Amino acid sequence: MRDGVAPSYLWLPEGQWPDMISFLLERYPQISAAQWQDRMGRGEVVNGDGAVLGPDSAYRRGMRIFYYRELERETPIPFHEEILFQDAHLLVVDKPHFLPMTPGGRFVQETLLTRLKKQLDSADLTPIHRLDRETAGVVIFSRQIASRGAYQSLFQRREVRKTYEALAPILRRGDFPLDFPFTYRSRMVEGEQFFLMREEAGEPNSETVIDVIERRGDLCLYRLQPHTGRKHQLRVHLAALGIPIVNDAFYPLALPCKADDMSQPLQLLARAIDFTDPLSGEPRHFESRRSL
């Protein structure tokens, strides 16, 4: 781990390249020869045995290489996470809006995982579940490899109760019930654009219990309890009901990318999470201190 970031790795594929830098330039055209030469000069590209690789190192199919992702410019996220709980096995964090969970795309240092690894000097820290970058609230991390599977299995067996809150328009009379709470089910599949989901006819594979907490003018604060964990499930379900979440840039229509504009956070909050601890048998309840 370097500066909170674990190295990325790649198994070298079938092919013929005269040297290592020729392969890297073809594989990652967005990174210049000067950048690779600088990284290699710092000893930050190595093989599986830890031997430093240089620009002229031989290319060998099947070899595994390790390197660190670096960005020339990364947008600072001016919002901060809060640690709600920690013990030998778990770390529970209250995530702000706009902060990505893990490194990827245009974010490496400005991610929740990297921030926490640096703060706690914990190379084994791993998220047990995830929240969208746009969503705030409670998220749980594993601190130990040995106990990680016990907690991951809770989510796989759907033995974790997650409660969200969302601000959205009032649900009007029509094809949908007005008696709360009610359960909404649909079949969700990947959309034509890789980052979106959509509904289609067929056997439902997603389920959310929807209730009203309070009315706020033309909006309502809804309580949402997903019984399944499909990507963007809550956002898709409320949009399908005609009440898209306030400031949702994906549903019902994908809007132009807002880039670094952080003035309109998605009004979706992972309010609480409940489960029985698989190690101690004790009930666990963690709740966000944020509000919409």
User: What is the spatial distance between Cα 64 and Cα 25, in angstroms, rounded to a whole number?
Assistant: 17
Q: Extract the tokens encoding 290.
A: 């944020």
How far apart are alpha carbons 229 and 282 in whole angstroms? 24
Beta-carbon count within 10 A of 9 CB: 11
What is the CB-side half-sphere exposure of residue 270 using CA atoms within 13 A? 28
Long-range contacts of 104-111 (CB under 8 A, 24+ apart): 106/71, 106/74, 106/75, 107/71, 107/74, 107/75, 108/5, 108/69, 108/70, 108/71, 108/74, 109/3, 109/4, 109/5, 109/71, 109/74, 110/74, 110/75, 110/76, 110/77
CB atoms within 10 A of CB 228: 13
For residue 202, give both structure tokens. Answer: 């067929």
**Residue 132 is among the residues annotated as catalytic for this protein:** yes
- Write the single-letter amino acid at 38: D
Catalytic pick from 121, 132, 175, 218? 132
φ/ψ region of 96 (left if φ > 0, alpha if ψ in -120 to 50, else beta) reads: beta
Q: How many whole angstroms separate alpha carbon 126 and alpha carbon 198?
A: 29
Q: Are strands 45-47 and 283-287 parallel, antiparallel or unpaired?
A: unpaired
Residues taking part in catalysis: 132
